[in-house]
Amino acid sequence: FLRRFLTTHLAGLRGCSPNTIASYRDTFKLLLVYLRDNHAVPPEKLTLDRIDAAAIIGFLNWLEAERQNSVSTRNQRLTAINSFCTWMQTEDPARMACYQDTLAIPAKKQPRPHVNHLTIEQTRLLLAQPDRSTRRGRRDATLLATLYDTAARVQELADLTVRNLRLEHPAMAALTGKGGKTRHVPL
């Protein structure tokens, strides 16, 4: 089931990125290690009967306590397991109640990181730094202004091509971000 989930379902049907598939794979590798080391269940003896909500809660607690994983990493691992359980409901309907118990495990709340923002004056100072009398300075000023104006990630800006820009009114940029998702941003 796990092989089909990672290959046929995630890669084939859902079209997940290789990074997402690798992350989900790593979640299950860690789950196998946890069950082997904490429940004395070697991977070759593991059956779906051993993977229930109690085992998953124990695994999530182990991630935080023993591996010192953050709440966001714990929640990401839970998301991978939930995706598998959602898929398994159609593959193994006889165990649907068990999968639903696992899907009912809540994600942990995590404190929102404090995001520092530049003041208007700090933004003006930053945008005024490049020497606009040189070609390199004009380029840098354009890059900074575009980053500021579009809230683009650096990689989104690096991937930007001429065909992704429309300079006629209304001016806009088509930015392709994580997961190949494109968003259109006014300039």
The residue extents of the domains of the chain are: 2-103, 120-186
CB atoms within 10 A of CB 100: 13
pLDDT in tens, 92-131: 999 999 999 999 999 999 878 777 888 899 989 999 999 9
Mean pLDDT confidence for 38-57: 92
Q: Of the CATH numbers 1.10.443.10, 3.40.50.2300, 3.30.720.210, 3.40.50.1370, which one belongs to the domain with range 120-186? A: 1.10.443.10
Token pair, residue 158, equals 């690096």
Question: What separation in angstroms does the CA of 24 have from each of 30, 67, 81, 83?
Answer: 10, 17, 8, 9
Phi, psi of 185 (to 5 degrees): -120, 130
Q: What's the topology of domain 2-103?
A: DNA polymerase; domain 1 (1.10.150)
pLDDT given for residue 115 in this prediction: 74
Question: Counting Cβ atoms within 10 Å, is residue 116 exposed (0-12), middle (13-18) or buried (19+)?
Answer: exposed
pTM here is: 0.66
